[in-house]
Structure 1
């Protein structure tokens, strides 16, 4: 086993889980990054995958891999940058023990993330959200299951990872109804539920209790739903809702779209951005600023408060002589 294999084994078997306490999703993302990188290096150098070592890692080979992701695999710039983060994470861990290759590793760590335009936040209007909620067939268990899932996601703005990790005891429908979850960075938070959401979730919980498993949203045999299963369900219901609300056909509706919709609804009701950041589990309010840019009502209100180019500044003062003022009309 060469040095790179030893470092990869050390990182993924102990360091990432025991010391960094990274989430399973992050670990699997980093793992897939290194599988793709080693496969790329093996193909381009003609070296067997199990013999790829630090000598094969250069600035040129890593940037070539990143370009390969964009141009050949047609990955987005965001995905490219995420793969670069996975490479950096392992190399930072390996650097103290690999002094012979420290210069090359340092230069690879200095590769900057690629800048790209920030995409516009996509969210659902109220009629579109209503059509989506109404799409599941509630005469069947799966329809009632998906209806509760959509209502909870639209009201709370939970991430897909947070939704799928919920257990039955994470919902408290009693006084001060709320849902508890553990989000990014192992940050725990409670999100209050509206009376309408509480009623729907209470009915769902009563029926869910008769089925196996502890996951709040489960598959046919009580197992926790995967990310792909959740996204598949929302695609089905979005297609159904499009018949009642044609404007949905122009939107790419995902579980994250529901999170954006929850944030935009709070913003439209005048909730402060710092409160929305806490609601969504953002560590910094800068992450929430994107919703300000997407809200045209806020921009329109700002323009309505400005004066026209031909209006002289100052405070209006009526003429003291009311008769002269009336004659001048």
Structure 2
């Protein structure tokens, strides 16, 4: 029996490991697949190696590095996109290493390739005023308008990913004194998040009006099929465009469902919510991922400075040493 080669590992990686062992979403698997397809394209067009002849013996660290250079030079990928493709390949070779000691050196070499530094930019989010305008756009006199408003409220309230929102069923919602929604996130992880009484009330009326049973999806299209993530993006952009007509100075950024997730996180940060609570609320595996909503957030820094400066109008002419130390420590934590 011949030893497994690249094609064998690829098949088991995508068909078994990612969906069954790691429980990754189809979107994540598609992203990893795209990285590999681009690598195949590079090998064929630049190295003259068709994918059916690409064996592990023909792959090395030098080939992967040249592929990354090609992404930037020929495909005009930014550093973030280049890093994303590298991450996809590293995941594959990490899996190959776990399956066979024969390729340990090769896999370690590839996994040692560093990511490029990317510029840190302030998080993008909508203001409270922009959110109010958007929520006022759906025509709640119509059935579809009421559905769309519930969808927008739930998307913001739960900070759900679009993929998580479309998978929601009526049975995933718990009403009562503390209404909650159960979300099914990345890696088959579930989390229960609270929703506001207003959102819960409108959602309950929507479920009753639409006669949605406990095992039915909350949001469906006109064909009564489950709403897609593309459909969610369409609804969001539709009402943002309507809001722009009334307020041309608003919504000056690219709009996507993820922006509402970022908006909710930023609003929680600005409201003083604990970073660890926000981590669990968003379903992040590490607080480091969550911290990006606090770092370089101008509103957080402005509030910190304002709070630190609030005693200037009092009787004390200068800060005490302990006050200065506390302020500097807090501001440094935001860098």
TM-score, scaled relative to structure 2: 0.83
Q: Is the 8 A contact 1:238 1:248 kept in 2?
A: no
State how far apart, in whole Å, the 1-side matches of 2:6 and 2:104 are.
13
State how far apart, in whole Å, the 2-side matches of 1:71 and 1:41 are.
15
State how far apart, in whole Å, the 1-side matches of 2:141 and 2:56 are.
59
Q: Is the 8 A contact 1:173 1:201 kept in 2?
A: no
After TM superposition, give the deviation of residue 313 of structure 1 in Å. Answer: 5.3
Name the counterpart of 1:327: none
Deviations 1:140-185 (A, max 9, x none): 4332222111111122211222212211211223342111112234
State how far apart, in whole Å, the 2-side matches of 1:73 and 1:235 are.
28
Rg: which structure is higher? 1
Q: Does the residue aligned with 1:179 lie in a helix, a strand or coil?
A: strand
State how far apart, in whole Å, the 2-side matches of 1:191 and 1:223 are.
26
The farther-off stretch of 206-215 and 188-197 is: 206-215
Name the counterpart of 1:318: none
The farther-off stretch of 75-84 and 298-307 is: 298-307
* Residue 164 (structure 1) aligned with residue 166 (structure 2): yes
TM-score, scaled relative to structure 1: 0.84
The counterpart of 2:106, out of the listed 104, 107, 111, is 104
Q: Is the 8 A contact 2:171 2:214 kept in 1?
A: no
After TM superposition, give the deviation of residue 70 of structure 1 in Å. Answer: 3.2
State how far apart, in whole Å, the 2-side matches of 1:160 and 1:71 are.
33
* Residue 301 (structure 1) aligned with residue 303 (structure 2): no
Which stretches in structure 2 are left out of the alignment for 5+ residues?
322-335
Change beyond 3 A, Cα 1:72–1:133: farther
State how far apart, in whole Å, the 2-side matches of 1:154 and 1:20 are.
28
Change beyond 3 A, Cα 1:56–1:228: farther
After TM superposition, give the deviation of residue 274 of structure 1 in Å. Answer: 2.2
State how far apart, in whole Å, the 1-side matches of 2:175 and 2:319 are.
55
After TM superposition, give the deviation of residue 109 of structure 1 in Å. Answer: 1.6
* Residue 206 (structure 1) aligned with residue 211 (structure 2): no
Which stretches in structure 1 are left out of the alignment for 5+ residues?
316-329
Q: Does the residue aligned with 2:65 lie in a helix, a strand or coil?
A: helix
CA RMSD of aligned residues (A): 2.9
After TM superposition, give the deviation of residue 311 of structure 1 in Å. Answer: 4.5
Change beyond 3 A, Cα 1:33–1:178: same
Name the counterpart of 1:120: 122
State how far apart, in whole Å, the 1-side matches of 2:288 and 2:101 are.
38
Aligned length: 314
After TM superposition, give the deviation of residue 112 of structure 1 in Å. Answer: 1.1
